[in-house]
Amino acid sequence: MTHPIQLIAYADRLGGTIPALGEVLRDRFAGAFGGVHILPFFTPFDGADAGFDPDDHTTVDPRLGTWDDVRALSDDLDVMVDVIVNHVSARSPQFRDVIQNGDQSPYAQMFLTMGTVFPEGATEADLLRIYRPRPGLPFTPYPWGESTRLVWTTFTAAQVDIDVRSAAGSAYLISILDALRDAGTRMIRLDAVGYAVKTPGTSSFMTPETFAFIDELTALAHERGLEVLVEVHSFYRRQIEIAQRVDRVYDFALPPLVLFAAATGDHAPLARWIAERPENAVTVLDTHDGIGIVDVGPDPATGEPGLLDAGQLGALVEAIHDATGGQSRAATGAAASNLDIYQVNSTFCDAMRRDDRAYLAARAVQLFVPGIHQIYYVGALAGTNDMDLLERTGVGRDINRHHYSDADLERDLERPVVAALLDLCRFRSDAPGFDGVFQSRLDDDGWLQMRWESASGWSELRARLDQGQAELRWARADGLEHATADLLEIPPTDA
């Protein structure tokens, strides 16, 4: 990956098609992004889980484009695509064949059932030990030829889990890797891989068997020239462990720690994490999912302290609900379907109280942290909670999945905060020092200081997220020092 900043976007919700998304990146966002993570565009992109339940993971939904359109994007952009490892749609041809023919289907071994994992039966303790991101047990009864089986469904009844250790499951995943390689994809995101291997007597989440599978799948991806990003929400030390074994891991601890600093003025947990975090991370403040909470809390399995304690975590959740005027509460947990037990649903802009300067200060912190930086399309446009979409669908995460019309896009590009954020991205791409050594510290006055320095020069950020203040200073090796104390007005780096 050659460029530090990528846009995360649904093609149908920004631009409308894959070629149109490319036009937005190259024209309206010119110079701000060098890559794009296209959220699921497979057949169909508008299923039960916004594309994360594909019927056919190896075809592009013709309403959005073709594999040639994906290749065209990769001509001058780093393209990342999801590999949905854990499951496939219950509507898929393979699972429909199993429903019709049961064990006589050539795909019968591709799908997991309770009996597959627990051939001798399971005790209450066995079932309660299974870690699931949503309440309840991960089984759904489905016809299986002339009988009925309890099919493993980690997420929803519409998403049936693959036996990744079976020959059919392995062949299915390899066919996806081949399709993405042929389309010029440079990086893949292993979606929900932490749940992919079920092992009796364990939580079936990020177990040693899971790590072994990640190693094997990563090796297959590398054979095809694909770099691997692992997507796992879990205890922060587990993320550090994962980072040692893969190309990239998400820094899901950064968003809640930034929000905690903004809400309380206490930047110490954030400063501690910046010093500890793996540098081969992909940084985000927002994604197509909610704002992760489990990533900074105590380990639910062992009780080991997290980056925030239980009291701080509870205060953070309430602070987000307060900042959004209760909108996030209406979209989170039991208040909305498709609920997650470890996330709060809101746009990041709303979680920052729609304060433009505070929002830009948070983005500046993100862009100064080492790693590859991703900005979600709603965040790139400083979008606010879409309560109308939430009301129509009842899906909590839709509060942060707005469908942008051309008029919406043109309107938001005229907003000063959006123009400033795009300028901040251009600054991060062009400013001196970012090819060198990174340092950070918390000064005696509570300001977070971050600095990059190399033979090309240096760039420095000072931020107080609770006050919405940020100061940028930079100088090229052979030039004068420049500075701005207002991120709404960032001069060119060579000014």
- Catalogue the active-site residues: 191, 231
Question: Cα–Cα distance between 258 and 242 in angstroms, integer?
Answer: 22
Phi, then psi, of 313 in degrees rounded to 5:
-65, -45
As separate numbers, helices (DSSP H) first and strands (DSSP E) second, the chain gives 18, 21
- Is residue 27 exposed (0-12), middle (13-18) or buried (19+ Cβ within 10 Å)? exposed
Q: What separation in angstroms does the CA of 335 have from each of 114, 233, 293, 385?
A: 29, 21, 17, 15
Beta bridge partners of 450: 440, 461
- Cβ-contact 436, 452 below 8 angstroms: yes
Q: What angle do CA 396, 379, 276 make, to 5 degrees?
A: 95
- Cβ-contact 149, 113 below 8 angstroms: yes
What is the end-to-end Cα distance of the chain in Å, rounded?
28
Q: What separation in angstroms does the CA of 324 have from each of 32, 318, 319, 354, 399?
A: 28, 10, 9, 9, 12
- Cβ-contact 181, 224 below 8 angstroms: yes
Question: Cα–Cα distance between 89 and 157 in angstroms, integer?
Answer: 9
Residue corresponding to tokens 């073709």: 66
One-letter amino acid of 380: A
**How far, rounded to the nearest angstrom, does the alpha carbon of residue 308 sit from its chain's CA centroid?**
21
Tokens read off for 477 = 């090796």
Q: Is the dihedral of CA 63, 288, 1, 56 positive or negative?
A: negative
- Cβ-contact 134, 339 below 8 angstroms: yes
DSSP-based three-state secondary structure for 65:
coil
At how many degrees (to 10) do helices 167-182 and 208-223 cross?
Answer: 40
How do 343-344 and 35-38 pair as beta strands? Answer: unpaired
Residue corresponding to tokens 């037990």: 341
239: left (phi over 0), alpha (psi -120 to 50) or beta: alpha
Tokens read off for 417 = 């905060």
Helix (H) or strand (E) holding 6: strand 5-9
Question: Cα–Cα distance between 370 and 368 in angstroms, integer?
Answer: 6
**How far, rounded to the nearest angstrom, does the alpha carbon of residue 117 sit from its chain's CA centroid?**
29
- DSSP assignment of 104-149 equals GSTTGGGB-BHHHH-TT---HHHHHH---SSSS-SEEEEEETTEEE
